[in-house]
Amino acid sequence: MAFTLPKLAYSYDALSPHISANIMELHHSKHHQTYVDKLNAALGDAPEFQDKSIEEILTNLDALPETIRTAVRNNGGGHYNHSLFWRTLSPEAGGAPKGTLFEGIKAKYGSFEAFKEQFNSAALGVFGSGWVWLLPNYSITTTPNQDSPLSRDNITPLLGLDVWEHAYYLDYKNKRPEYVAAWWNVIDWSEVTKK
Ligand code: MN
């Protein structure tokens, strides 16, 4: 059973003006599709892994044949990370989380605004391509390339922000801070807290 590109729960133009239809279409139908295609190609020679979930594969990369491990790490990581990214975005979104997540963030950072500032700093601090993550213990962490807390530490992140240039260059050119600021407006916090 080959991996497939997940359908979005919203149209490509739904997140505009924060993330444009052009970016969404390129990012989903080209970049994410390419990760899926290359993941399937890499696993073509390893049928024993084809029925595993992407989470199972990424948490046990050492089990893969060495010849395909890097390709699966990068492209399987790309598939997992982008699937999570799309799921936590919505046009009816933004603001702050509710309930336990809000209270946990407030307890750790003092306020939701202080948390946002730290998350933004982490996003701007990623050199080159990578991701910023919110973990279940409300810590913020970053990973290079298409690594994630799942592949690195076997921890399922609550939320991830793609800071690869392909995620924002068409809209924001080199201005990553503007993209990060816009992203807060399209986070679907109800999806973030879903188990
Ligand atoms: Mn991306």
Quote the percentage of the chain above a pLDDT of 90: 96
For residue 75, how far is its CA from the centre of ligand 1 (angstroms)? 11
> Taking 90 as the threshold, does the pLDDT of residue 45 lie above it?
no
- The amino acid sitting at 180 is V
Per residue in 96-151, pLDDT (tens digit) is 999 999 999 999 999 999 999 999 999 999 999 999 999 999 999 999 999 999 99
Structure tokens at 155: 């921890």
Per residue in 139-159, pLDDT (tens digit) is 999 999 999 999 999 999 999
Q: Please compute the mean of the pLDDT values over residues 51-68 and round it to a whole number.
A: 97
> Taking 80 as the threshold, does the pLDDT of residue 182 lie above it?
yes
Quote the percentage of the chain above a pLDDT of 70: 99
Residues measured by CB to lie within 5 Å of ligand 1, the ion: 162, 164, 167
| pLDDT-based confidence at residue 44 (cuts at 50, 70, 90) | very high
pLDDT of res. 194: 83
pLDDT of res. 113: 98
For residue 77, how far is its CA from the centre of ligand 1 (angstroms)? 11
> Cα dihedral sign for 89, 72, 75, 52?
negative
Q: Please compute the mean of the pLDDT values over residues 173-190 and round it to a whole number.
A: 97
Q: Is the model's pTM score more than 0.85?
A: yes
Find out whether 13 and 21 touch, Cβ atoms under 8 Å. Answer: yes
Beta bridge partner(s), residue 130:
144
Q: Helix (H) and strand (E) counts for the chain? A: 10, 3
pLDDT of res. 40: 97
pLDDT of res. 1: 67
For residue 119, how far is its CA from the centre of ligand 1 (angstroms)? 18
- Between CA 102 and CA 24 the distance in angstroms is 28
Mean pLDDT of the chain: 97
For residue 93, how far is its CA from the centre of ligand 1 (angstroms)? 20
For residue 146, how far is its CA from the centre of ligand 1 (angstroms)? 9
Find out whether 73 and 30 touch, Cβ atoms under 8 Å. Answer: no
What is the bridge-based pairing of β-strands 159-162 and 140-144? unpaired
> Taking 80 as the threshold, does the pLDDT of residue 195 lie above it?
no
For residue 110, how far is its CA from the centre of ligand 1 (angstroms)? 31
